[in-house]
Amino acid sequence: MQHFALTIIGRDRPGIVSQVTEILYQLGFNIADSSCSILGGQFSMILIISNPKFASADEFSDAFHPLEENNLSVFVRTLKPGGEERAELEGDLCMISVYGSDKPGIVYRVAKELGDRQINITDLNTKLVGKQDKPVYVMMIEAMLPEGTEIETVESWMNDLKQQLKVDISVRSLAVMEL
């Protein structure tokens, strides 16, 4: 079955998710994976979708014109087969939280440290919270630790970075429950 990546971007307002999912439901699509967020006042959504009736995005992309008429940008991309439904990730899941004053380089430095140590970032979110005159930068990272890597080891790697960036970094395990 062919899978597609559907991306929606535009000024945030209530009802976008229901509009998008109504179109997908009416067309008979399954949503295999999705992520939605508000980024600087802009709504962003990316979904991995599939429907055995469609082999090409050209066959259904016109159904999204009502969204574009409401000032949303819609992009559909046909995915190459393999890995669309569920990533095969090995290792232990953890959450890395970063809090501090907003400054350039926080995401890069933390991501580089993790990448250099073969830690796979599976989800990353950032935002400014607090008062406008004293904002706090928050970054939440979900990451897959390589087999044999302990939370305490990751914490020790982050200590130097914590001091250099003058931020608070914490690492905790996310135990995965099987149903």
Domain ranges of the chain: 3-78, 92-173
Measure the CA–CA gap between 99 and 167, rounded to whole angstroms.
6
CATH classification of 3-78 is 3.30.70.260, yes or no? yes
Determine the 3-state secondary structure of 53 from DSSP: coil
What is this structure's pTM? 0.73
Written as six digits, the tokens of 60 are 């259904």
Mean pLDDT of 46-67: 94
Lowest mean pLDDT among 52-61, 95-104, 126-135: 126-135
CB atoms near residue 149 (< 10 Å): 17
CB atoms near residue 103 (< 10 Å): 10
Measure the CA–CA gap between 147 and 91, rounded to whole angstroms.
5
The phi-psi region of residue 99 (left if phi > 0; otherwise alpha if psi is between -120 and 50; otherwise beta) is: beta
pLDDT per residue over 166-177, tens digit each? 999 999 998 765
CB atoms near residue 102 (< 10 Å): 12
Q: Tell me which of 3.30.70.260, 1.10.3720.10, 3.20.19.10, 2.60.40.10 is the CATH number of domain 92-173.
A: 3.30.70.260
pLDDT at 175: 73
CB atoms near residue 83 (< 10 Å): 11
State the chain's mean pLDDT as an integer. Answer: 90
Q: Does the pLDDT of residue 78 top 60, yes or no?
A: yes
pLDDT at 86: 55
Pairing relation of β-strands 167-173 and 134-145? unpaired
Task: State what percent of residues in the chain have pLDDT above 90.
Answer: 70
pLDDT per residue over 100-153, tens digit each? 998 889 999 999 999 999 999 989 999 888 888 888 999 999 999 998 899 999
pLDDT at 44: 95
Q: Does the pLDDT of residue 40 top 90, yes or no?
A: no
When pLDDT is cut at 50, 70 and 90, the band that residue 81 belongs to is: confident
From 34, 54, 35, 38, select the one nearest 63 (Cα to Cα): 54
Measure the CA–CA gap between 114 and 100, rounded to whole angstroms.
19
Q: Among all chains, which residue has been given the structure tokens 């997908």? A: 24
Written as six digits, the tokens of 28 are 């008979």
Q: Does the pLDDT of residue 179 top 70, yes or no?
A: no
Written as six digits, the tokens of 128 are 């400014």
- Residues contacting residue 42 through CB under 8 Å, at least 6 positions apart: 9, 10, 11, 12
pLDDT per residue over 1-11, tens digit each? 899 999 999 99
pLDDT at 176: 61
Question: Cα–Cα distances in Å, from 116 out to 77, 105, 173?
Answer: 30, 16, 20
